[in-house]
Amino acid sequence: RRIIDKDEAVELLTATLPDLDGGEVRERLSSKKGFVWLKREITPLQQQEIRRLGIPGIGFLRENKRVYPTGNEVAHLIGLVNIDNQGIAGMEKWLDSNGLADLHRAGFATDRLQRPVELSVDLRVEHALRDELLKAKEKYKAKAASGLVSNVKTGEIVAMVSVPDFDPNSPKEAHDPDRINRLTTGVYEMGSTFKAFTLAMALDSGKADLNSMWDARGPLHYGKFTIHDDHALGRMINMKEVFHYSSNVGAARIALSQGVEAHKAFLRKLGQLDRLRTELPESASPIMPKRWSELNTVTIAFGHGMAVAPLTSEKMRFLMRLNAEIGTAKKADVKGYYIGGKTGTAEKVINGHYVKKRVLNAFTAILPADNPRYQILIMLDEPQPLKETFGFITSGWNAVPTGGSVIARIAPLLGIEPRFDLPPSDRLILAASRTTQ
C-alpha cells in the first residue's frame, strides 16, 4: 500500500531479481492485502541490492533455511522440508507428522525431543554403497540401482541407497519420478531370491529335507502356463540342487507340496505380505493376488507374483553359503568373509506381458554365513548386455559382482575381520549337513 509507483517498482525488482515474473509481481503489489511475499530465501547480497533501490514499502523477514551438508548421500532417508520448514519426505516428514515440530513451537517439547535425531545409518557404509551402485549403474547401463545393508540381529538399517537420487538442497529434483526410493515405494517381482523363502517353508514344515528329491525331468505344465528352467538338468534333483541351479520347476513343486494356505501363512509369518515397517513414510504395500490359487503358489515360489526354527535357519545358511562357493553367487565370494547369497532375475511386465530383455536383477547376501550379522541387498533395474558379460543380463553377471565390490568395501567398516582358515560350508555349518532322517 505504501508503494506509489508500482510499474517502477516492478521494473527495478525484476532487473535485480531476473527470475521474478513481472506480471505476478505487479498483481501482488496491487493486492489489497497488508502483506504479500515477493520472493523468499534471497541471499544477503540480493537483500543489500534491493535495499539500495530505495523502494518504500519493501521490507524483509528473517527466516530459517534447512541446509543438507551431505547432499545426495542420504537424501531418501533424511528427506526434505518445504519452504516453510515443514517435512514433506523421509525422516523430516515422519518427525513432523509425529507432532514434534508443533510441540516445540508451543513450548512443550522436552529436552530429549529437542536433541539431534540419531539414525541407525552409518555414513561410511552409506557412502561406499552409493559409490559402488553409481559405478554399477554406469557400467551395466542400468536404468537404476539400489542397495540395502541391515543389521540382522536388531533389524536396524545401516545403509539404504537408491540411484538416481536427488539433492534435498534443490527440492525440484525430488519431484522427478525417476528419483523415487525404489527400496520403499517400488513394488517388484524379486525373481529367484524368493526361492529362499520357498525352501525355508518346506524345511520348516518338516515335510522335506536337503536330500528330498524333486522332479525336474521336464517343464511343469499348469493349465495354460508352462514353467521351465533356464538350465534344465532333465532329471530328479535334491533340494540343494534346486537352490544351487535355481530351478523354477523344483521350487514350484516344493511349493505345491506344502499347499496354498501353508505357503500364504509362511510368507505372512515372515512379514512378506505387509508394508515395510520403518519410520519412512514413503512405503508401499506388496501387491498380492485377489484370490490366492495354486497357480499363485507356483509362481510366487520362484519369485514371480509375490521366523523359522533354528535348524531351518542353519540349513538355509548352508544352502546360501554353498551357492557362494559353487553356485550363482560365486562372483561375490570375497575371500575371508565367508558370505552366503542368492541371486534373482525377474522379467518385467510391460503392457501385460513379460519381456525377456527387460529385467530386474537382485542379489541378497548374508555376512558371515556361519553367524550372520548383516544382510545385503543389491538391485539393478534393466542392466544391459556387455561384451565382458558375454551378452548375458542375468543377476550373476552384474548384481552379484556389484555385491562383491560392496562387501569388500564395507566389511572392514562394519568390524568384520577376515578369516582365511575356514573349512567348506558342509563342515562349518554343522547342523545344516545333518539332514532329517
- Look at the block and give the residue holding cell 542353519: 314
Among 192, 212, 395, 425, the active-site one is 192
Q: How far is CA 260 from CA 24, 201, 305, 318, in A?
A: 62, 12, 14, 27
> Do the beta carbons of residue 263 and residue 300 sit within 8 Å?
yes
Grid cell digits, residue 75: 537424501
CA nearest neighbour of 403 among 344, 336, 323, 329: 329
Q: Is 30 designated active site? A: no
Strand 374-381 with 144-151, pairing: antiparallel
CA distance 76 to 99: 21
CA nearest neighbour of 170 among 59, 35, 313, 72: 72
Let me know the angle formed at the C-alpha of 219 by 330 and 392, rounded to the nearest 5 degrees.
35
State whether residue 103 is helix, strand or coil.
helix
Strand 220-222 with 144-151, pairing: unpaired
Contacts made by residues 117-120, CB under 8 angstroms, sequence distance 24+: 117/91, 119/77, 119/91, 120/151, 120/156, 120/157, 120/158
Among all residues, which ones are annotated catalytic? 192
